[in-house]
Structure 1
Amino acid sequence: MARLPRLSIVGCPQHIIQRGNNRQACFFAEQDYTVYLDKLKDSATKHNVSIHAFVLMTNHVHLLMTAPSVDGISQVMQNLGRYYVRYVNQTYQRTGTLWEGRFKSTLVDTESYLLTLYRYIELNPVRARMVEHPAAYPWSSYQGNAGDSNIALLTPHPLYLALGNTQAERKSAYQSLFLSHLSENTIQAIRDATNKAWALGDDSFIEQVANTLSRRAKPLPQGGDRRSKAFNSSKPK
C-alpha cells in the first residue's frame, strides 16, 4: 500500500516521532544527547521552526514543533538527521543507517490536544518506568516548561503562554496539568494519529485538515472481517 503524503499546514503544530533502526539505541552517552539538542537548535533557528516540547529517549525522540512554511519541519529533520548520523558513525566507528525510515508526524488540534501533547511527550520516561516524575529525567523539555531551567531551544506556544500572566504563574499552572493522568484512550489516539499520519483533533479540525490538503485525515470506517463467518453470512446472496 502506498504511503500517504505528510500532513503539513503552515502554523499548525506537529508531533514528530523518530525511532532508531530496529528500535535500537540512537543515544549511547551523555554527549550524544547534547550534540543532538545543539544541532536541533541550530536547524530550527535556520528554518525558523519553533520547538515547544521534546524528549530524547534511548532509542527514539519526540518533538512538538510549529513551522512558518509547509516544508520547514521536514527541512529541520533532514538536516538534523544527516548530521547526527554522521556524528554517531564517526564517534562510534560504525557504518550504515541509524534511523528507522522516515520520521512519523501528525498535525495537532491546538485547542483539543496541544497541552496534552506537551504532557504526553514529557511523560514518556515515566511511562517507560525510567523515572517516577518527569522532573527527574534530564533530556526533556519539562525542566524548561515547568522547572527552573532556561532551555534556549524552547519557544513557548501561545496556548502555553496563556496559562498565566507571569512566568511563575505559567509554570505553576503547567505543573498542575501533571496532577492528572492521561487516559489510555488519549495515549492510543496520539500514537495512532502519529504513526499512521492522521490528524489529531476533534471532527471539525480533522475535516478542516482534509479539505485544506485534499486528502483523508482520518482512517476509513472499519468494515467487517472479510474472512469471518459472520461477515460472509451477512453478505447478500
Structure 2
Amino acid sequence: MPRSGRLVVTGYPHHVIQRGHNKQPVFLEDEDYSYYLSSLKDWRCEYGVKLYAYCLMTNHIHLLLEPSTSEGLGLLMKRLAGRQTRYFNAKYLRNGTLWDGRYKSSVVDSDAYLFNCARYIELNPVRAGIVPTPQDYRWSSFNEHIGNSHFSNVCDTLSGLSDPENYEAYVSEGIGDDELSFIRSSVNRNQLTGSASFISKIERITSIRVEHRGRGRPRKK
C-alpha cells in the first residue's frame, strides 16, 4: 500500500521531528552536531525554507521550518538525512540507515503556536535533564534568539518576540502540561498544531479533510 503524503502548507511553520533508527544516537561528538547545522544553514536557503528554531538531541532532532514551496520541506529533509548518514557511516565505520524512517511533521498555527513550539523545542534538553537551563545547551537555537554572539547565525528572526530579554523571559516561564502534551501529540501523529478554526482554515486552503480532535490552549505571549 503506498504511503500517504504529508500535509505541507506553504507560508506556515512546520514542527518537524526525526529520530535515530531504533532510538540510537545520530550525534556522538561536537563535530557531528556542527556538520548537521552547517548543512542545515546552507540548504535551507537553497530550498527556500525559513528556520525559526532547532534543537539537536543525541538521538533525534527538532526543527521549526516554514517552506515557501510545496516541495521544499521534503527535499530539505531528504538531503539533510542522506548527507548526515553518509558522514556518520564513514566516520564511525558503519553501514545501514541512520534514521528511523520518515520524519514526522505538524503544520503550526503561526498566530497562536509559533512561539509555543519554539519554546517547546528549545526546552527539550532541560526536560531531558541534560542541562539546568536552555542557555547551557549548545545545540539549540535558544542562544541565537537571546542574542548570544558566541553562537552562529543559523535561524531567521522570531518576529514579535525579537527583543532578547523578552524572549528569554518567555522561555523561562516554562511550558504547562496541557500545552506540552498537545504539541508533542500533534507532531507525533502528523496532525495540526492549532485550534478548530485553524484546522478549518487549513482544510479550506488545501481541500483536504483534516482529523478533528481535542486540543490544548496556547499560553499567552
Q: Which residue of 1 is the match for residue 128 of structure 2?
A: 128
Q: TM-score, normalised by structure 1?
A: 0.85
Deviations 1:139-197 (A, max 9, x none): 000110014135321111xxx32235xxxxx1011011023221111111111111111
- Displacement of 1:215 after TM fit? 2.6
CA distance in 2, matches of 1:128, 1:4: 32
Note if contact 2:199-2:212 (Cα within 8 Å) is conserved in structure 1: no
Q: Which residue of 2 is the match for residue 172 of structure 1?
A: 165
Matched, 1:214 2:210: no
- Displacement of 1:3 after TM fit? 5.5
Which moved further from structure 2: 49-58 or 204-213?
A: 204-213
Unaligned runs of 5+ in 1: 165-169, 222-237
CA distance in 1, matches of 2:96, 2:199: 38
Q: Which residue of 1 is the match for residue 217 of structure 2?
A: none
Aligned CA distance change for structure 1 residues 140 and 220 (closer, same or farther; 3 Å): closer
Among 181, 184, 203, the alignment partner of 1:188 is 181
- Displacement of 1:216 after TM fit? 3.1
* Secondary structure of the structure 1 residue equivalent to 2:153: coil
**Structure whose alpha-carbon radius of gyration is higher:** 1
Letter in 1 for 2:110: T
CA distance in 2, matches of 1:103, 1:180: 29
CA distance in 1, matches of 2:20, 2:194: 27
Which moved further from structure 2: 44-53 or 123-132?
A: 44-53
CA distance in 2, matches of 1:181, 1:148: 20
- Displacement of 1:219 after TM fit? 4.6
Q: TM-score, normalised by structure 2?
A: 0.91
Letter in 1 for 2:176: S
Q: Which residue of 2 is the match for residue 7 of structure 1?
A: 7
Q: Which residue of 1 is the match for residue 152 of structure 2?
A: 151
- Displacement of 1:30 after TM fit? 0.8
Aligned CA distance change for structure 1 residues 46 and 11 (closer, same or farther; 3 Å): same
CA distance in 2, matches of 1:173, 1:5: 38
Unaligned runs of 5+ in 2: 215-221
Q: Which residue of 2 is the match for residue 161 of structure 1?
A: 159
Q: Which residue of 1 is the match for residue 21 of structure 2?
A: 21
Letter in 1 for 2:198: F
Deviations 1:52-90 (A, max 9, x none): 100000000000011110111111101111111000010
* Secondary structure of the structure 1 residue equivalent to 2:203: helix
* Secondary structure of the structure 2 residue equivalent to 1:112: coil
